[in-house]
Amino acid sequence: MKYLALCIGVLALWPIYVVFRSYPSMRKYVWVALGVLPFLSIVLPFLDVALISWGDFWTGYVPGLQVTAIDIIAVFLFFSVRKNPTFKSLHVLFGLNLAALTLSMLQADEPLATGFAVWQFVRVYFLAVLVAKACTDDAVAYQLLKGLSLGLAIQFIAVIWQKFGQGMVQPTGTFVHQNTLGLITHLVVFPNFALLLAGQRQIQSGASVAMGLVIAALIASRGALGFTGFGFSATYLLSFVRKWSKRKALLGLAGVFAVAGLVPIAMSSLATRFDAVPLLDEEYDERAAFNRTAIAILEANPLGIGANHYSYVGKNYGYSVRSGVAPIEGSLNNIVHNAYLLAAAETGYFGCFSFTLLMIFPIAVAFRYAWGVRGNPSGDLLLGLGVAMTTVCFHSLFEYIVVIKEVQYVMAIVVGMTFGLAKQRVMRRGHGMVSAGRPAAQPRAAGEAAYSRR
């Protein structure tokens, strides 16, 4: 059945492409759908086909060789943007990390399991390049953001139902864990908040910000709460410094009252959580034990142990128990809650370097071009994207979930949007100069024209 679904998806590529080319007005809906799909893959399993599945016995974060609806849509979208330029640095960043993952197969006990992680990263790389090429037209960036915002709305509805309809202590939305939802929320909320501060797309941006705040208050995740506060503060301060306005001052005041109203809800959610599952960090700090395990693995294996192998090696070679992890299946099969230590343990020092570079460099690109483009909506969007990636970068010091498929898809979209909008600024800068040295009229992209009509 899964192979039949895959064949249907592949065979549908050509007629979909013909419709896509014949009716340009339909394109925006496809980009919006691409932004929504990462939020639905778990609850709609037919969107995800596992050609090989080890989910019944493998404890890594990539359970098999998978192809998703996102991959199929990305392939046919690529033909419409393949000639668009993008920064070579994007390929360098992803190429280095891909090389580290591939080389780690040489160290792996189960090379095929590492191959699962390599294949997942190839799909994510392809999606990032697609989005970067497409977002040289900033209208595409706003359509993708609309899709991400619709995905957040789905999470908001799910969280409300789970919290008040089902009595869940820690709602997870459509994801497996509340921390996954919390981290993905960062990537959607802060770009919208930056646009709201700039007075752009006020209904979408305002709704996304409100939903993000409520989600953070209800899921009872300390990390999500803390980093949500960091992200909102950083976005507001940077936007205020970048371009002051009375609107931003008023929104800041309104934000203070909104947060004050949500604090009791957040505290109540945390209290309910800790009543149900008391903290035992003083008796047993599992996160610290995971960190010691990862460091021990790295010291013994400087070249790594193979991507997608942390829990397998930690459990079967005794690293976890020797480092103080509780000798029970749930703990031994868990993964170190630090994405950088995970990369180091699995792919060695080179892999840790390439992963860290992949996390940090897009942030520098976002802030560089955001600061140089004032008075333009794309500059505000770049600012919000930069803060979102910065927040995820810090949050990943306490979580490994940035390597989960759903998070990686959203990260690929955000990174692609960043590089695409930055490349657009470079292209416009070059287009704006004529041979006589006189600035030419700046062309207005579709996204900016849409803003002028609002």
**Which one-letter DSSP state was computed for residue 439?**
B
User: Residue 40, Cβ neighbours under 10 Å: how many?
Assistant: 18
Bridge partner list, 50: 66
The b/e string for 201-239 (b: 16+ C-beta within 10 A; e otherwise) is beebbebbbbbbbbbbbbbbbebbbebbebbbebbbebb
- Residue 192's CB is within 10 A of a number of other CB atoms, namely 29
Give every CB contact of residue 107 below 8 A, 6+ residues apart in sequence: 301, 303, 304, 305, 306, 348
Burial 410-428 (b: 16+ CB within 10 A, else e): bbbbbbbbbbbbbbbbeeb
Distance CA 362, CA 194 (A): 17
Burial class of residue 16 in the structure, from the number of CB atoms within 10 Å of its CB (0-12 exposed, 13-18 middle, 19+ buried): middle
Structure tokens at 84: 């668009």
Nearest partner of 379 among 184, 210, 84, 141, judged by Cα:
141
**8 Å CB contact between 445 and 137:** yes
Per-residue pLDDT tens listing for the chain (454 residues): 556 666 766 666 666 667 667 777 778 888 999 999 999 988 887 778 888 889 888 999 999 999 998 998 898 888 888 888 899 999 999 999 999 999 999 999 999 999 999 999 999 999 999 999 999 998 999 999 999 999 999 999 999 999 999 989 899 999 989 999 999 999 999 999 999 998 877 889 999 999 999 999 999 788 888 899 999 999 999 988 887 777 777 877 787 777 778 778 778 777 777 766 666 555 678 999 999 999 999 999 999 999 999 999 999 999 999 999 999 998 999 999 999 999 999 999 999 999 999 999 999 999 999 987 766 778 899 999 999 999 999 999 999 999 999 999 999 999 999 999 999 888 877 665 433 444 444 444 444 444 333 4
Q: What whole-number distance in Å separates Cα of residue 416 and Cα of residue 422?
A: 10
The CA distance from 73 to 126, in Å, is: 11
User: Token pair of 244, please?
Assistant: 């002051």
Nearest-angstrom CA–CA distance, 242 and 44? 42
Q: Tell me how far apart the alpha carbons of residues 390 and 380 are, in angstroms, rounded to a whole number.
A: 15
* Distance of alpha carbon 243 from alpha carbon 155, whole angstroms: 32
Residues 6+ apart with CB under 8 A from 246: none
- 45 CA to centre of own chain: 20
End-to-end CA distance of the chain: 47
Tokens 């940077």: give the residue: 238
Of 277, 309, 368, which Cα lies nearest the Cα of 108? 309
pTM of structure: 0.89
